[in-house]
Chain A
Amino acid sequence: MPHTVSIEDTGERYACSSEESLLSAMARLGRRGIPVGCRGGGCGVCKVEVLSGDFQTRAMSRDHVNDDDRACNRLLACRVYPASDLSLKVIGKLQKRVCHPATA
């Protein structure tokens, strides 16, 4: 039974099962809103804040998600698996890039 994921920033809604990450379901359905990077919890570009809903997580890099982030449900969408309908807002940006100074 798929759950409904809502991206509050854009109003985008899509279906995601408990066996699929928030990011991979979005990308597989050709939907947009969360930046797509490594999809393994290592690069941090898909960071979101879960505003409501239940979920499970897999390991993600502490370079991008510290204890405070975890306590506030600021997580990497590639490592979050929904257990109910869920809403989120996007935090991650493709900010740092070749030749450009740090903005974060």
Chain B
Amino acid sequence: MAMTGVLRPGHAQVRVLDLEESVRFYKDVLGLVETGRDAQGRVYFKCWDERDHSSYVIRESDRAGLDFFGFRVLDTATLNKLEADLQAYGLTTERIPAGEMLATGERVRFTLPSGHVMELYAEKDKVGNGIPLINPAPWSKARDNGIAPIRLDHALLYGPNVAAVQKIFTEVLGFYLVERVLTPDGNANAAVWLSCGQKVHDIAFAEYPEPGKLHHCSFLMESWDQVLRAGDIMSMNAVPVDIGPTRHGVTRGCTIYAWDPSGNRFETFFGGHLPYPDYETMTWTFDNFGQGLDYPQRKLHETFLTVVS
């Protein structure tokens, strides 16, 4: 099997200011499937086509933002090895017991030099996508509920020390650098797009003075038509839209950025090119960041650089 190590983004836990208002938004507007609530009051969701129990978890708090972002790894042996590798690299790790999150095995947690809490885990219950594994239909009625993305695709996180973060992902966790935007002086990276498989990115970071900030969690759509339909549903529900519908130069993905009711940005994303680990990194100069962000308009939107939760 070619894919080993870290397989994919598995879960994000996001803070919201009003739980029930947010549950209604994520279920009825974004069209996620609620899969459980726990004793801490957290609410668990998955995208309709995801097979694992949950990928997006919200909890009520007095501030918005990201609690942690987790990756599913191949198996328990991989989890143990990556934990040892992180420690050997000099990072402190913590084990969160199985069951602390619903339907989820033991997690290895560590904090990046950007201030973001990351997790690795090997086990999460497979609850399926509602479609049988024998002679499966291509979709179910769940696809028509709200925006209805098919999976949690990636996240873009803002914080300091992006160079050190990039080294951890590429030297310890097996990611490779797909694209980057240079700083204005050209001597460092302002933003990096990192992949652990053949997706154009599984996680991205941008250099920002404040640690631990969420720029957006991204949800994958099946087509450009579905991105436009998402835009219609956003307007029908007065969801504040940031940028789009448009196409990124970086990644070539089609996009809308918008905000949940607590000001956590999310993205409805489609497409992107399909890199391999041997491909050379693509580089954007800072003065061309505008077309990297919004290719048709060539516009470096102020909110993209400044608004985070």
Contact = CB atoms under 8 A, between A and B. Distances in A.
Contact of A39 (B184, B259, B306): B259
Contact of A42 (B65, B183, B207, B209): B65
Given A97-B305, A98-B191, A42 B208 contact: no
A96 B17 CA distance: 23
A42 B309 contact: yes
Contacts of B158: 98
A62 B62 CA distance: 6
B263 A39 contact: yes
A22 B246 CA distance: 29
A72 interface: no
Dominant secondary structure at the B interface: loop
Interface in B197-253: 206-210, 240
A38 B208 contact: no
A39 B234 CA distance: 14
A5 interface: no
Interface residues of B, number: 32
Given A37-B307, A40-B240, A61-B62, A99 B184 contact: yes
Interface residues of A, number: 24
A95 B17 contact: no
A85 to B, nearest CB: 25
B262 A40 contact: yes
A42 B64 contact: yes
A45 B302 CA distance: 12
A100 B207 CA distance: 8
B63 interface: yes
B134 to A, nearest CB: 43
Given A38-B259, A38-B263, A39-B259, A99 B309 contact: no
B309 A98 contact: no
Contact of B307 (A41, A45, A59): A45
Contacts of B208: 96-98
Contacts of A38: 64, 240, 259, 263-265, 307, 309
A94 B240 contact: no
B208 to A, nearest CB: 6
A62 B65 CA distance: 11
A61 B306 CA distance: 17
Candidate in B184, B265, B309 with the most chain A CB atoms within 10 angstroms: B309
A100 B210 CA distance: 10
A97 B183 CA distance: 12
B295 interface: no
B18 A59 contact: yes
A37 B209 contact: no
Contacts of A98: 158, 190-191, 206-208, 305
Interface of B: 17-18, 62-65, 158, 183-184, 190-191, 206-210, 240, 259-265, 286, 302-303, 305-309
Interface of A: 36-43, 45, 58-63, 94-102
User: Which 6 residue pairs spanning A and B have beta carbons closest together?
Assistant: A42-B263, A38-B263, A42-B64, A40-B263, A102-B209, A59-B17
